Amino acid sequence: MLGPELHTYTRNNEQLVLTRPEFAHAVIMLTWAQDTESMNMLAAPDSEPLRDKANIDTEIERIHGFENNDDNIIWAISYNGRLVGQVWIDKDKEIKVGHISTIIGDKSVRNKGIGLAAKSRVLDWAFSDGGFECIEAWCVAENTVSEAGLRSLGFTYTGEDVNDEIVAGKYPTRHHYEMTASNWEKAK
């Protein structure tokens, strides 16, 4: 499912637009899917075979699938007029619970607060118009930037586990967090 267009600003007061992924984005998104470092930070399973199978047609098919998939809500992140990442909420089996994820695929703009600003704006939407009561998140323990971002937004640490799939040759530790609608109101 495609999220509604949302606008926000980075910590440096630079505008971000969260919008629908488009077929024209496929080439850029394909480079992210083929980037080992990016996929490891997302704890995508060791997927050299998947990366080898990824091509422009499979990426266009994946983008087309966003429109018809009610299990998640996705936005493309546009910064200075160009696609730099994605943010999405996977709907949980429990009603009104979701899991938020972000990727800043454009390495030249990482660590500028873009993912944090996008995630914050999507949380605003999720707890108001989206009807969610709880949003969960996790990050690979080694991804200290993501972990610091979750904490700065006010997410509460709920524990850790070991990923059940091999990533970069090992089973990584994941740190889990959650945010409730009432805690989000207090954190803002």
Is 139 contained in some domain? Answer: yes
**What is residue 46's predicted lDDT score, i.e. its pLDDT?**
45
Q: Total structural domains in the chain?
A: 1
Is 169 contained in some domain? Answer: yes
Decide: helix, strand or coil at residue 121. helix
Matching residue, tokens 């009603």: 95
pLDDT digits (tens, 9 = 90+) for 167-185: 777 888 999 999 999 999 9
- Determine the residue type at 84: V
Which pLDDT band holds residue 52 (cuts at 50, 70, 90)? Answer: low
Helix pair angle (26-33, 56-68), 10° resolution: 110
- Domain extent for 23: 6-187
pLDDT digits (tens, 9 = 90+) for 89-124: 999 887 899 999 998 889 899 888 999 999 999 999
Is 42 contained in some domain? Answer: yes
Burial class, 177, CB count within 10 angstroms (exposed 0-12 / middle 13-18 / buried 19+): buried
Is 36 contained in some domain? Answer: yes
Would the pLDDT of 45 be above 50? no
Decide: helix, strand or coil at residue 47. coil
Is 1 contained in some domain? Answer: no
- Residue 110, domain CATH: 3.40.630.30
Is 77 contained in some domain? Answer: yes
Is 153 contained in some domain? Answer: yes
CA–CA distances in Å: residue 142 to residues 42, 109, 147, 182 = 11, 20, 9, 29
Name the least confident of 7-16, 25-34, 82-91, 98-107.
25-34
In this structure, is the dihedral angle defined by the CA atoms of residues 35, 36, 41 and 42, taken in order, positive or negative?
positive
Q: What predicted TM-score, i.e. pTM, was given to this entire model? A: 0.86
Is 91 contained in some domain? Answer: yes
**What is residue 36's predicted lDDT score, i.e. its pLDDT?**
64
Name the least confident of 37-46, 79-88, 141-150.
37-46
